Structure 1
């Protein structure tokens, strides 16, 4: 049976906090021991907070490109400057919308820069994505290992979708699980070979966990997903990024 268990007792995370120790403390407090194939889903926000990925907007001086783009998209020029610094390409820029290709390859609004739920006096602060989410997930997984049992870890973030309203969570970092499962060549129930099917497991797990983590004031930044049997070779979340050459909508 698949279970989604919110981890309790996790307070406000600040730069330098040991997330492995914080999450282990939550598991101990809840009386939960890790099992084989357990997956811990951690929101990007607390990973970035622990890694000190804050930027003080008062220290940002927008350049000419940011000023011009900010006038088009009607956003704070300082925010636009940060978006440009974090991005490799502007995908779409219209009033109130700025979508870019992040340097990690992720196509997302405002390069994933966040202003919500930052804690304390955060009016002039924003939060960037982790430098290397897959490496962050690996460090957390290693720190969570108990009695030879190391859980898989997914770092989740919220994404919009070009053809549907609303956000879902996706895995931007992962360790210990097959983020992408290639099922091409397998047979369906009628004996036909699957030709294009690849399963974005990290995204599926991240969205399942978001039923608990939520998008507002829920205050649940980590979830244990239990009961899914992982049989494929582990692959990082970076493998989910579609190569630019395969982008049919450029």
Structure 2
């Protein structure tokens, strides 16, 4: 029997529209900066558009910047900095931000932050002013909802807050949907037929992460200055189909359950 959540989207032609913007400064209203960026690029929003927003735009606007010269590293930070060839001041910020530090390799720590497996708990020194480190937004879900509400006066929209991530045993960064508003982060395809008519038993489609990766391709990682991308034509469907968080508990994650069961992690 087909599950209620197995209703499928009807994708059309997907279009990605870059929104070039200037530097964001602390205290900026993210919604107004995005609105102005869209206007300055000669663009207009349409019903069904998804606005992909770089998490660093939100973090910078919120003033989530740490001056590293003012950080006093703990003994643990010094020890980990020596072990992993990292600035102890940066390590100290990671320690404060991480929910759990799982290990590391030269110049990076593997951490859990808000239920997400990520490098350095989201602490980053790229695309930040010299001498500073940026943190993840305080409330990514709240930021996504606020942006959607403020910009939906012109069209029926959804929002994805985009960060970057790495995939086990793969080189390179791809996009991560840190938060969404106005769309389901995943589609439950259990009970849907595959191309041979066999029912799917375990498949969930991570549509928000897919679209975050598509937008991340345009945003880039260097000096592109494209912190916002309009995703058009995704046709995700009714957000009420599945509004559950895409985050999995440790015991249900393929990677983490195996790592946990073969280590002394607590």
TM-score normalized by the length of structure 2: 0.86
Shift of 1:248: 2.2
| 2:12 corresponds to 1:6 | no
Post-superposition Cα deviations, 1:194-250, rounded to whole Å, max 9, x if no partner, equal 0111111111111111221111111111100001112242556x8122212223232
Deviation at 1:189, TM superposition (A): 2.6
1:134 aligns with 141
Query: Which secondary structure state, in structure 1, belongs to the residue aligned with residue 125 of structure 2?
Result: coil
TM-align CA RMSD: 1.6
Provide the residue aligned with 2:153 in structure 1: 146
Task: Spell out the pairing of 1:69-88 with structure 2 (5 A cutoff).
Answer: 69-88=80-99
* Corresponding residue pairs, total: 243
Report the counterpart of residue 107 of structure 1 in structure 2: 117
Matches within 5 A, 1:94-243: 94-102=105-113, 104-118=114-128, 122-147=129-154, 149-234=155-240, 239-243=245-249
User: What does 1:12-51 correspond to in 2, within 5 Å?
Assistant: 12-51=23-62
SS state at 2:172 partner: strand
The list of structure 1 runs, each at least 4 consecutive aligned residues, that deviate by more than 4 angstroms after superposition, is none
TM-score, length of structure 1 as denominator length? 0.91
Deviations 1:110-153 (A, max 9, x none): 111111122xxx32211000111111111111111124x23111
Following TM superposition, by how much is the alpha carbon of 1:14 offset from its aligned partner in structure 2, in angstroms?
0.8
Structure 1 residue 37: Cα displacement = 1.3
Shift of 1:86: 0.6
Choose between structure 1 and 2 for higher RCO, CA contacts under 8 A separated by at least 6 residues. 2
Match of 1:53?
64
Could you tell me which runs of 5 or more consecutive residues in structure 1 were left unpaired when the two chains were aligned. none
- Are 2:74 and 1:68 aligned? no
SS in structure 1 at match of 2:165: strand
